[in-house]
Structure 1
Amino acid sequence: MKRTAFRPTALILLPLLTGSAALFATAAPARAAELCGNVDPVVVGSYLVQNNPWNAPGDPKDQCVSTTGDGFEVTKAEGEQPTTGGPKGYPSIYNGCHYDKCSPGTSLPVRIDSISSAPTTASFTYPAVGAYNAAYDIWLDPEPRKTGQHAVEIMVWANKVGSMQPIGAPAGTTTLAGHTWEVWQGTNGTSKVISYVAPSALTTVGFDVKEFIGDACVRGFGEPSWYLTSVQAGFEPWQGGAGLKIDSFASKVDVR
């Protein structure tokens, strides 16, 4: 997953469900905040933004994010990790519960087979240099747990710049949300991980999370009786990362 430079030349939009753009309520503007190091997430509209430098190569405060009205920007990203291992962290914005931190008013965790739809959108800005991905993290668990490491991690890679690869091994391709994805399957030692990788950079994505969950369950990554615990969008930087930005994010889960 390593390239020395990248600048997207085109916008690729994944189709949402009909009328889904109107599904998200407009949130009140949030006051900008800067998060450096291992600090609690902060509220941005209806969501939480986390800095999450879980694998920092040096001082965790070498990674910082600044919140915006609809997302966040990575403002500091010192140090490097080899692209053969894990990233420096996962700065991200999310709906749901992650390590006992729940976004305001979230309905998650919720049982998968009770979900009628779970539309989400995200818009990304990429710097010209570095080694990183832009990815959704969608977490599933057999229990409605709000804390700890959950049993299954579904990743949706909108972009990768560098020589890094998803966890596990290739498992073919599939077409979801109107786009073809490379599928990778594996485990990180604690959770089973399935990744859907876009073959070219996407700067805007929109899809129904339930569609990816359904495919993952068919492949043995979860069960309909399990729970969706969070929907997260962010970046995994290995080298550099300053300038990575979520321009906008929205996530909603509708229950029957």
Structure 2
Amino acid sequence: MKKKLRATVLVLAPVLAGAGALFTAASSAEATEMCEQFGKVEVGKYIVQNNVWNQVGAQCINTTDSGFEVTKAEGQVPTNGAPKSYPSIFNGCHYDTCSPGTKLPARISSISSAPTTATFGTAADATHNAAYDIWLDPEPKKGGVNAVEIMVWANKSGPIQPIGSKTGTATVAGSTWEIWEGNNGTSKVISYVAPSAMEKVSFDAKEFISDANSRGFGESSWYLTSIQAGFEPWKGGAGLKLDSFMSEVNAG
């Protein structure tokens, strides 16, 4: 969630059914601490979100000029289940909040490329992944649950794994990835797991979308609604930092 930060509350917007999100704009000259469960902050062209959707303890994040840092991350959950949260930054529309000037939602067939980069930091005491979330839907949704979730796991720590089961490998964006396929109860999920830890990631999201489509996860006539990058912590997480993020969507 980034825009030039003005440190003023703009609007209360829903993030999950029955939940509200504190949405703030802040100036790039100052960090904004956010501890609201579904708090969102506009920073530059993107939106930073706390997104503590499986809350077991308090979580706070500080925005930076180009990303965010987790400053508090209480509690832990079993590593064979869902993570605690997904503190992240995104381009596009997610639960009724759209990043400034975004070209999303956009029909996949109209997109020529969607370059993105992210630099992930680590935290010594955390069991977590550093991952992208790429959301697809047959409709140009700006809110609610999307039909397909594409995850790109750049790195992980601890005995965690994606939803579903491993189905093979694929070469996408110049690397060979493990493929995991499953369902989280509301969306079909396909995950691409890096063969070795990556701290800096740079790829064309359209390549992952095309590969996912070829495996039955959405179609080219569907819509890309958002591209997100962040962390899923199962234990701890304070100190996790996304140092930089860039996402563009180019028309074909």
Which TM-score tier does this pair reach, normalised by the shorter chain? 0.7 to 0.9
Matches within 5 A, 1:227-246: 227-246=223-242
The size of the alignment, in residue pairs, is 226
- Given the alignment of the two structures, is residue 36 of structure 1 paired with residue 45 of structure 2, yes or no? no
Inter-partner Cα distance in structure 2 for 1:67 and 1:176: 31
Counterpart of 1:223 in structure 2 is 219
- Given the alignment of the two structures, is residue 90 of structure 1 paired with residue 86 of structure 2, yes or no? yes
- Given the alignment of the two structures, is residue 101 of structure 1 paired with residue 101 of structure 2, yes or no? no
Q: 1:153 to 1:30 in 2, by over 3 A?
A: farther
- Given the alignment of the two structures, is residue 51 of structure 1 paired with residue 47 of structure 2, yes or no? no
Q: Which amino acid aligns with 2:183?
A: T
Decide which of 173, 178, 193 is 1:177's aligned counterpart.
173
Q: 1:211 to 1:228 in 2, by over 3 A?
A: same
Inter-partner Cα distance in structure 1 for 2:200 and 2:235: 23
Do the aligned partners of 1:176 and 1:211 also contact (CA within 8 Å) in 2? yes
Q: Which has the higher contact order (CA 8 A, sep 6+)?
A: 1
Do the aligned partners of 1:152 and 1:192 also contact (CA within 8 Å) in 2? yes
TM-score by length of 1: 0.87
Inter-partner Cα distance in structure 1 for 2:165 and 2:148: 16
4+ residue runs over 6 A deviation: none
Q: 1:154 to 1:196 in 2, by over 3 A?
A: same
Inter-partner Cα distance in structure 2 for 1:39 and 1:114: 32
Do the aligned partners of 1:72 and 1:247 also contact (CA within 8 Å) in 2? yes
Inter-partner Cα distance in structure 2 for 1:140 and 1:112: 9
Inter-partner Cα distance in structure 2 for 1:116 and 1:177: 15
- Given the alignment of the two structures, is residue 251 of structure 1 paired with residue 251 of structure 2, yes or no? no
Give the alignment's Cα RMSD to 1 decimal.
1.0
1:70 deviates by 0.1
Decide which of 203, 206, 211 is 1:207's aligned counterpart.
203
Counterpart of 2:118 in structure 1 is 122
1:40 deviates by 3.2
Counterpart of 1:15 in structure 2 is none
TM-score by length of 2: 0.88
Inter-partner Cα distance in structure 2 for 1:74 and 1:203: 17
- Given the alignment of the two structures, is residue 137 of structure 1 paired with residue 133 of structure 2, yes or no? yes
1:30 deviates by 5.2
Task: Point out the structure with the larger strand share.
Answer: 2
Identity of aligned residues (%): 68
Q: Which amino acid aligns with 2:37?
A: N
Do the aligned partners of 2:37 and 2:59 also contact (CA within 8 Å) in 1? no
Do the aligned partners of 2:83 and 2:232 also contact (CA within 8 Å) in 1? yes
2:212 aligned counterpart, secondary structure:
helix
